[in-house]
Structure 1
Amino acid sequence: MNDIDESFIRIDSTVLRRTSIHDMSFILISSTLAAAAVVILLKLHGTRNIDVTSFILKYVIVPSKIFIILTKLRVTELLRPKSVVRVKTANNFVFTTIPYNLTLSNRILEFEVRDSDVFVVTYPKSGTTWMQEIVWLICHNADIEASKQLALSTRSPYLESVDVGEHLGFQALENWPTDSIRIMKVHRPHEILPHGVSVEKRGRIIYVARNPKDVCVSYFHFHDMTFSLPKAGTWDEFLTKFSNGDVSVGDWFDFTLKYWKESQENPDKIYFTTYEALSQDLPAQVRALAKFLGKDLRDEQVEAIASHCTFASMKENRSVNYEKMADIAAFDFSKTKFMRKGRVGDWKNYFTVNQTAAFDELFERRMKGAGLNMQFEI
């Protein structure tokens, strides 16, 4: 354990020198006791569970740098959920998720939707961050410099998360200024979106689909870097889980086809595009998105957004790549980057011949008659 005793632990600009195992253990125990005390006090005052969670993260977990310490001690695996869970929501939809997401599960159904709201929805690892940045810039006159000043997670909160630091979520969206557009990230099936958007058709949805082979590969690596998800296992094991829908947010086919169907029935409310289309002609997609959102952009603004939102640019942009949020995000960046490759067709480096044939058969069977074509390489 000497490599830990004698190491430097870098936390932004702060350097904790020669932090010992004893010191780290003291921090962990103290933080646990503090969190327990906070829970008791807040619950006695009738505070909502989501606000209790947010308070603990903001005032106990983040200041103590627990995530960074656990990563350094190589014990983050202890925090991983053992498996996904299937829960029935208040509207009787069975949702596959992780235990950490249960706090907000039903409350999101009643989230008050505004007509100006924009929901950026994807199955995980399908270009969510990419689309959030594009949409934010379209809605803010291509102000590139302004986008660099604040983290994307501050400008475009995650509806299914609680607030913590720059990573804004449900509470921030509840209290968002009424004269300002809310652009929010969502990884939920259409059936359990807020009633205001799924039933009353308020707001607008932008859905990005990505070919499921590349999604599977990217999701496999993402499981390795974040301890908020169950262990991926081997590639063969994860492919089986993914094909069976035994991963967080569930079955790719059910998830994607529902949004595809809704977009065909409500094209003025749902803009459906693909990761591959964005990769092939980003300026054309920016123009189409601007039209859908009712925004007029000059040619130079379109080009500025397209240039700023290339994968190479996004990967190095600290306002969107999550690297400056290591102390509040359950990510181990030593495993892989949040933005890894961004290529279309990387699945060919993972799928065997037999796996390709089996997945192709699954794809043809599940997509039959849907009218949705996906590109697996370009």
Structure 2
Amino acid sequence: MAVSTPVAEALSRFYTKDFVSRALVALMRDEPSPYVLDLGSGPGALSHAARIRWEASSIVSVDIDRAAETHLRALPHLRRGGGHRHIVADALSLHLPSTLNKVNFDAAVCNPPYREISWRPEFRVILEESGLGDLAGSAQYTSTEVLFLAQNLRIVAPRGQLGLVVPDSIVSGRKSRALRQTLLGQHRIERVVQLPRGSFSKTDAQAFILVLNKGQSKAKRTLLQRLYSDGSLSGGLAINRAQAEHRLDYEYYAQRNSPSSLQPSLSDLDAQVTRGSVENAIARDSWSSRWVFHTTEFPPDKGSISFPVQRSETFPPGMIWAEPGDILLARVGRSLHKKVCFVERGRAPITDCVLRIRLQRQWQRAVFDALASAKGEARLLSVSRGVAARMISKQELLSMPLELRDGR
């Protein structure tokens, strides 16, 4: 159902594929809901899946794009036998509950657009009435996914259930830790399901299904799973409240629960992880005659690299240099998990998009081989964060388990 309109493009929409829609409603409670809300419905993938799952329910969809109604009306299960009402309105309007005639919704499905939105004073009221008022602060911009979450919480009845598609930033982002703490303190996050990359048209952004029971905060565990492209689910991992506040992504904990998690981390090996000090733009603009290592310089085969001979005094003091025996790793980028190399000879300053790993000699090659392996790629991907351009922090890298050769 990747139907696009000019308004949809402007709203940064990535429409929900059928297998994701079916999975989302299947993860929600079995009993039918009298009224189901779909905010920012687009062409209706989630509304359609909800109607198939709960035939007796009345589906109310809301979208600011007038063209969406035409697509919704064409869907067979929504067209058949009534029970569907579509409203052309701003899903983030303060007055939306009145527009909806204060219907008592006990279920909601939602795949919000992912973009920054100009701050409006009414957003503070929406956040406060949803219980997320402490997160508003004095920011001039707030992401639409947080505001859609707040609007759903504001409208859905107590003890109602929400099934939402949310980005990696909410699930694992460090800046979203306060949001996760608030949600876990006020509600029950029943499960979080990691979606396959490419689940949405025109983006490979990492996204998740989050199922939340409003006002039921006594659960001590949250279930994490992975959804595969054939619609099947992985086994579940149950994490505690502290872990859920830290991160909610399945792959991150799956790596730690594997047998290799008994292997040492970089921290166990007393590794020093240092971020480069040179801004790439400055390096390219000002030092064209001097060579600085950036993410574009990683060898494609994840092998060794040798640097040209350069005099330290030709560079400003206090720079971070890579030297023989160091392991270099991309700190940012969509394919950061594939960018790792071993410094064989020479010295070079590194940009702030690169991490330098420095170890005792006996661990250097073993750690490099572990990071460059297929399992190393998977672990690096699991600890990185971000919707499109991903990043990895020094702390997450230091705590990541490594599978070293010869039992090390």
Fold in common (TM above 0.5):
no
Judging by fraction of residues, say which structure has more helix: 1
Relative contact order (C-alpha < 8 Å, sep 6+): which is higher? 1
TM-score range, shorter chain: under 0.3
Question: What TM-score, normalized by structure 2, do the two folds share?
Answer: 0.23
Q: Which has the higher strand share?
A: 2
- Larger Rg computed on CA atoms: 2
- The TM-score normalised by the length of structure 1 is 0.25
